Amino acid sequence: MQELTLPRPDDWHLHLRDEELLATTVPATAKVFGRAVIMPNLVPPVTTVEQALDYRQRILAQRPADSAFRPLMALYLTQQTSVDTVRAAAENAEVIGFKLYPSGATTNSAAGVTDIEALDEVFAAMAELQVPLLVHGEVTAAEIDIFDREKVFIDTKLRPLLARHPKLKLVLEHITTGDAVDFVLEQGSNVAATITPQHLLMNRNDLLVGGIRPHNYCLPILKRREHQEALQRAAVSGSPKFFLGTDSAPHGQSKKEAACGCAGCYSAPAAIELYAEFFERMNALDKLADFASHFGADFYGYERAKEQIKLVRSEWTVPATVDTAIGPMVPYWANEALQWRFEG
């Protein structure tokens, strides 16, 4: 096979950041993806519909003229989020749902949730109105090993949450463990998950063996090989519960290569090619269209894309850096070869 056509894919988990960086991040995604769920962890966070719509306009201002890319805005869930805000979100077609960050779990999450149970009235409204909850699934207690934080969150927070609100529409984002795969499969059709390219293509050896590799550092952190293999099986299984979400997260090179480097992999410059690389390695290119273009749209209730994109078999090397207004950024898979190239 020398060419691969797909319905235009969607990215159901994306960080664009803001201001001058949008000139780089928006075109990188808009050239390939039809829609993307935009994460709200700015400083200050995007907590209201009005703030989300303002942010959306800043994104659209950087959208290429020939692109129909549609940013779908998530609101940042806090302890102060009200039922009125949930209702306002439900009434606005450009707001897709709420993002739950446990406070301190990842980049710009200090304003996140500290007491999930105290928000039960908000979750009840979300379940009633079918407003999705997008979850960064990790506990942050210092005594919990970083490699166990996803499983502990599932067992102590998510299972009780869904027991209290069984109709809540929930996406467990960037899953990293076999425990997460099993949890999603055990739930009804109202629960799904996104999977990133880095968690499909790498495990913790790629972070730690031969030296610490800061550009492979993300949160939730890469896990052991057996968990990677569980994610790989889920992605190619054909289950509609698993779909594409890059979690592409841009950071300046100086912020990553630091004594306390930040978490995030900037995969947008090669996102669809990275997924194609993985699906071909698994002899499952026939499953890529569903994973990348169909299942996410189905879950969120959007029409499937009709426009097609084309990938061609043509080896290329991901650039060492990307020049931006904040300085160079090192993309995920930098200096490494990929076998498929996006052609348009």
Amino acid at 281: R
Give the whole-angstrom CA distance, residue 213 versus residue 208: 7
Q: Please check the confidence at residue 20 and state whether its pLDDT lies above 90.
A: yes
Is 99 annotated to bind a ligand? Reply is yes
Q: What is the pLDDT of residues 256-266, one digit of tens each?
A: 999 999 999 99
State the pTM of this model.
0.97
Is 17 annotated to bind a ligand? Reply is yes
Is 13 annotated to bind a ligand? Reply is yes
Q: Residue 226 has which token pair?
A: 């057996």
pLDDT at 334: 98
Is 190 annotated to bind a ligand? Reply is no
pLDDT at 109: 72
344 within domain boundaries: no
334 within domain boundaries: no
Give the whole-angstrom CA distance, residue 145 versus residue 159: 20
pLDDT at 206: 97
Is 251 annotated to bind a ligand? Reply is yes
Q: What is the pLDDT of residues 233-254, one digit of tens each?
A: 999 999 999 999 999 999 999 9
315 within domain boundaries: no
Average of per-residue pLDDT across 141-157: 97
Instruction: Specify the CATH number for the domain of residue 264.
Output: 3.20.20.140
64 within domain boundaries: yes
337 within domain boundaries: no
Is 165 annotated to bind a ligand? Reply is no
Is 159 annotated to bind a ligand? Reply is no
Question: In the annotation, is 18 catalytic?
Answer: no
Average of per-residue pLDDT across 183-193: 98
pLDDT band at 171 (very low <50, low <70, confident <90, very high): very high
pLDDT at 342: 98
Choosing from 10, 11, 247, 290, the catalytic residue is 247
Q: Please check the confidence at residue 107 and state whether its pLDDT lies above 80.
A: no
Average of per-residue pLDDT across 183-200: 98
288 within domain boundaries: yes
- Give the chain as a 3 state SS string: CCEEEEECCCEEEECCCCHHHHHHHHHHHHCCCCEEEECCCCCCCCCCHHHHHHHHHHHHCCCCCCCCCEEEEEEECCCCCCHHHHHHHHCCCCEEEEEECECCCCCCCCCCECCHHHHHHHHHHHHHHCCCEEECCCCCCCCCCHHHHHHHHHHHHHHHHHHHCCCCCEEECCCCCHHHHHHHHHCCCCEEEEECHHHHHCCCHHHHCCCCCHHHCCCCCCCCHHHHHHHHHHHCCCCCCEEECCCECCCCHHHHCCCCCCCCECCHHHHHHHHHHHHHHCCCHHHHHHHHHHHHHHHHCCCCCCCEEEEEEEEEECCCCECCCCCCECCCCCCCEEEEEECC
The chain-wide mean pLDDT, for the chain, equals 97
Average of per-residue pLDDT across 90-103: 96
Q: Please check the confidence at residue 108 and state whether its pLDDT lies above 80.
A: no
Q: Please check the confidence at residue 105 and state whether its pLDDT lies above 80.
A: no
Q: Please check the confidence at residue 215 and state whether its pLDDT lies above 80.
A: yes
pLDDT at 323: 97
314 within domain boundaries: no
Give the whole-angstrom CA distance, residue 270 versus residue 340: 10
Give the whole-angstrom CA distance, residue 33 versus residue 296: 13
Is 215 annotated to bind a ligand? Reply is no
80 within domain boundaries: yes
What is the domain count for the chain? 1
pLDDT at 55: 98
Q: Please check the confidence at residue 103 and state whether its pLDDT lies above 90.
A: no
Q: What is the pLDDT of residues 271-321, one digit of tens each?
A: 999 999 999 999 999 999 999 999 999 999 999 999 999 999 999 999 999
Q: What is the pLDDT of residues 306-317, one digit of tens each?
A: 999 999 999 999
pLDDT at 243: 99
Q: Which residue range forms the structural domain that includes residue 72?
A: 9-304
pLDDT band at 174 (very low <50, low <70, confident <90, very high): very high
